[in-house]
Amino acid sequence: MYHLNSRLAAEIFDGEYIIANLDTGLYFNVQGIAVSLIQLLPFESQDAVIDQLANLFPENSDTIKNELTNIFKELIENEIILNSDLKTPVESSVNNLPTEYIPSRFNKYADMQDLLLLDPIHDVDEEGWTIQNQPE
């Protein structure tokens, strides 16, 4: 069963999905019809859901299938969507199907990743304090 990673802060904000990994400083936003893909979680088959959304707009069906397949892959790779057994079944928001086709976008904000500091290996004195200071 595919489901949204519950460790992430995910909000619909101004029509977009904002997904934040507050532990690592990675932020994502998802726009367009891919918002509905996330709203339809949890589901067993991504192909069935992608087909369901694509069939809503026959004139854009192929485009939608293509973009949702790519974004689904991004969501899996970034562990926004996980594939595992759910202990508690969660109802998907089937009432939130889109009424117009808006192209999807997936944005990743990784600015803070470069700033994440590792805890350097350090020697400590008998009171537990680091012996050698290191710069910021």
Partner 1 sequence: MKPITYFDQVLALFEELPSYHTDQLSLADRKINLQTPSMELRGLFLPSLVHLVEEETSEQPELTIWYAEEKDLPRKLNAPPWEGFNGQGYNASIDQEDVQLFFQPWQRQIFLYSRSKRTGIYWVNKSEDVPWWECTFSFRIIFHLWTQDLPAQLIHAGAMAKNGEAVLITGKSGSGKSTSCLNLLRAGYDYLGDDYVWVELADNLTVFTLYQTAKIEPENLEERFLDWKPFIRNKADYLQQKAIFDIKDLFPKAAISSAVLKAVLLPTVFDQDYTSFKRTNPVNALMAMAPTTLHHLPHNRDISYQKMITISSKLTCYNWCLGRETNQFITSFDDFLKNEFANN
Residues binding partner 1 (CB under 8 A): 9, 11, 13-14, 16, 18, 20, 22-23, 25, 27, 29, 109, 111-112, 115-120, 122, 124, 127-130, 132-134, 136
The 3 state secondary structure assigned to the chain is: CEEECCCCEEEEECCEEEEEECCCCEEEEEECCHHHHHHCCCECCHHHHHHHHHCCCHHHHHHHHHHHHHHHHHHHHCCCEEECCCCCCCCCCHHHCCCCCCCCEEEEECHHHHHCCCCCCCCECCCCCECCCCCC
Residue 120 CB, nearest approach to partner 1 (Å): 6
Residue 52 CB, nearest approach to partner 1 (Å): 26
Looking at the Cβ atoms of 21 and 92, the one nearer to partner 1 is: 21
Residue 67 CB, nearest approach to partner 1 (Å): 19
Residue 47 CB, nearest approach to partner 1 (Å): 29
Q: What radius of gyration, in Å, describes the C-alpha atoms of the chain?
A: 20
Fill in the amino acid letter for 21: N
